[in-house]
């Protein structure tokens, strides 16, 4: 019964929300005129992204892809920066991001082991949910999917474990999309990408429902240790972006609320602040 309810909810929700998501998100007056995104082009792009997320096995929501698309389309072309994806699986989100990269003339850098997840570190609390090799998408499979449904010519692939490939990153990044599951992978990605993020740049993360996981973006110790600054915070922390979902949380209780699902993706920017600084008895620690 619960399964049937879930299925019914899933299909009704999608049928109702997809047209709203596409029009609401892509009908932004801030989309830069250079990209000549007529209403028809926006609707077509949104619909293709929705289809891609069904025809390529996907671990992320198309509404999250649309939210990133919006931010990329809103950025003027003279702002430098590549788009970067960490964690591609079969290439669903990469195919969608490649389509918007093609429109705006930016490169999509795709980082993945192409062997699935690494062995979990015992200190990584997310590692208990996965095993080595989960979410494996072989390189040929990924490139075939992107060639078929996206724009392979804008993609540059970096094959290997993040701790081996990300240190060689040497270009400005406008938007990074992290869909990497493990705490260890999030840690290494943010550490290496943050210094390359442009001033108005974005880091999106798919994992946003777990309050421990997103705590990285609020951890004073982590930001002080690695970047000597206060934390930037995360829009969508604990719930994801509000893109048509119903969720009262917490994530661990979702079995009792079968019709609820957290939203999708959260993001931070270099210019943001997620720092509590009201200690009336102490001197300010703000930097
Ligand atoms: C959930 S999947 C990505 C899903 C994909 N973004 C989508 O929308 O379908 C997670 C991916 O992260 C990759 N990954 C996670 N940690 C990694 C690491 N430390 N080094 C390289 N790849 C890693 C895995 O290989 C896998 O492809």
Tens of pLDDT, residues 16-75: 878 878 887 888 899 999 999 999 999 999 999 999 999 999 999 999 999 999 999 999
287 has a pLDDT exceeding 60: no
Question: What is the three-class DSSP state of 231?
Answer: coil
pLDDT of the residue at 285: 56
Q: Of 13-22, 71-80, 109-118, which range is least confident?
A: 13-22
Q: Going along the chain, which residue ranges are E strands?
A: 82-86, 108-112, 155-159, 173-178, 197-205, 266-269
Q: What is the pTM of this model?
A: 0.94
Question: Which residue did the predictor score with more confidence, 231 or 257?
Answer: 231
Residue 52 lies in a domain: yes
User: Measured between alpha carbons, how far is residue 76 from residues 24, 80, 108, 123 in Å?
Assistant: 20, 9, 17, 42
Residue bearing the CA closest to ligand 1, atom 13: 87
Q: What CATH number does residue 9 fall under?
A: 3.40.50.150
Closest by Cα among 72, 89, 67, 92 to 245: 67
Q: Which helix (H) or strand (E) holds 221?
A: helix 220-227
Into how many domains does the chain fold?
1
For residues 159 and 211, the answer to whether their CB atoms sit within 8 Å is no
Closest by Cα among 241, 228, 226, 221 to 193: 226
284 has a pLDDT exceeding 70: no
The angle formed by the CA atoms of residues 187, 62 and 182, to the nearest 5 degrees, is 20
pLDDT of the residue at 196: 98
Question: Which residue did the predictor score with more confidence, 210 or 5?
Answer: 210
pLDDT of the residue at 49: 96
For residues 162 and 179, give the distance between their C-alpha atoms in angstroms, rounded to a whole number. Answer: 12
Residue 45 lies in a domain: yes
pLDDT of the residue at 6: 74
Q: Which helix (H) or strand (E) holds 104?
A: helix 92-104
Residue bearing the CA closest to ligand 1, atom 5: 88
Residue 117 lies in a domain: yes
Residue 155 lies in a domain: yes
* pLDDT band per the 50, 70, 90 thresholds, residue 273: very high
The per-residue pLDDT for range 201-234, each reduced to its tens digit, is: 999 999 998 999 999 999 999 999 999 999 999 9
For residues 151 and 104, give the distance between their C-alpha atoms in angstroms, rounded to a whole number. Answer: 12
Residue 249 lies in a domain: yes
Domain that holds residue 98: 2-269
Regarding the beta carbon of 99 and ligand 1, being less than 6 Å apart is answered no
Q: Is 3 exposed, middle or buried (0-12, 13-18, 19+ CB in 10 A)?
A: exposed
Distance 89 CA to ligand 1 centre (A): 5
Residue bearing the CA closest to ligand 1, atom 12: 87
Which is it for strands 82-86 and 108-112: parallel, antiparallel or unpaired? Answer: parallel
158: β partners: 111
Regarding the beta carbon of 52 and ligand 1, being less than 6 Å apart is answered no
- Residue 45 is classified by DSSP as H
Please provide the size of the chain in residues.
287
Regarding the beta carbon of 117 and ligand 1, being less than 6 Å apart is answered yes
The per-residue pLDDT for range 117-145, each reduced to its tens digit, is: 999 999 999 999 999 999 999 999 999 99
Residue 282 lies in a domain: no
Regarding the beta carbon of 181 and ligand 1, being less than 6 Å apart is answered yes
Regarding the beta carbon of 204 and ligand 1, being less than 6 Å apart is answered no
Residue 278 lies in a domain: no
For residues 25 and 64, the answer to whether their CB atoms sit within 8 Å is no
The per-residue pLDDT for range 139-171, each reduced to its tens digit, is: 999 999 999 999 999 999 999 999 999 999 999
* pLDDT band per the 50, 70, 90 thresholds, residue 258: low
Residue 275 lies in a domain: no
Ligand 1, atom nearest to 56 Cα: 9
2 has a pLDDT exceeding 80: no
113 has a pLDDT exceeding 70: yes
Regarding the beta carbon of 179 and ligand 1, being less than 6 Å apart is answered yes
286 has a pLDDT exceeding 70: no
């Amino acid at each position: 019964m619960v399964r049937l309810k879930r299925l019914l909810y899933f299909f009704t929700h999608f049928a109702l929300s997809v047209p709203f998501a596409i029009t609401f998100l892509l009908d932004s007056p801030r989309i830069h005129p250079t990209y000549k995104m007529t209403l028809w082009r926006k609707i077509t792009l949104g619909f293709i992204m929705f289809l891609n997320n069904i025809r390529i096995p996907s671990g992320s929501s198309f509404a999250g892809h649309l939210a990133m698309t919006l931010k990329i389309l809103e950025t003027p072309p003279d702002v430098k920066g590549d788009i970067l994806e960490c964690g591609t699986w079969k290439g669903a989100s990469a195919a969608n991001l490649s389509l918007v990269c093609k429109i705006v003339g930016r490169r999509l850098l795709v980082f993945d082991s192409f062997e699935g997840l690494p062995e979990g570190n015992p200190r990584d609390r997310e590692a208990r949910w996965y095993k080595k090799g989960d979410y494996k998408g072989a390189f040929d499979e990924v490139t075939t999917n992107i060639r078929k449904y996206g724009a392979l010519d804008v993609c540059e692939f970096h094959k290997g474990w993040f701790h081996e490939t990300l240190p060689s990153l040497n270009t400005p990044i406008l938007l990074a999309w992290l869909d990497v599951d493990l705490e260890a992978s999030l840690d290494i990605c943010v550490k290496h990408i943050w210094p390359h993020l442009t001033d108005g740049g974005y880091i999106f993360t798919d994992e946003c429902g777990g309050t421990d996981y997103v705590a990285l973006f609020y951890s004073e110790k982590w930001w002080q240790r690695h970047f000597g600054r206060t934390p930037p915070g995360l829009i969508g922390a604990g719930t994801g972006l509000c893109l048509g979902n119903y969720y009262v949380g917490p994530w661990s209780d979702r079995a009792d609320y079968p019709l609820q699902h957290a939203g999708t993706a959260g993001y931070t920017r270099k210019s943001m602040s997620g720092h509590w600084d009201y200690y009336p008895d102490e001197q300010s620690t703000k930097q």
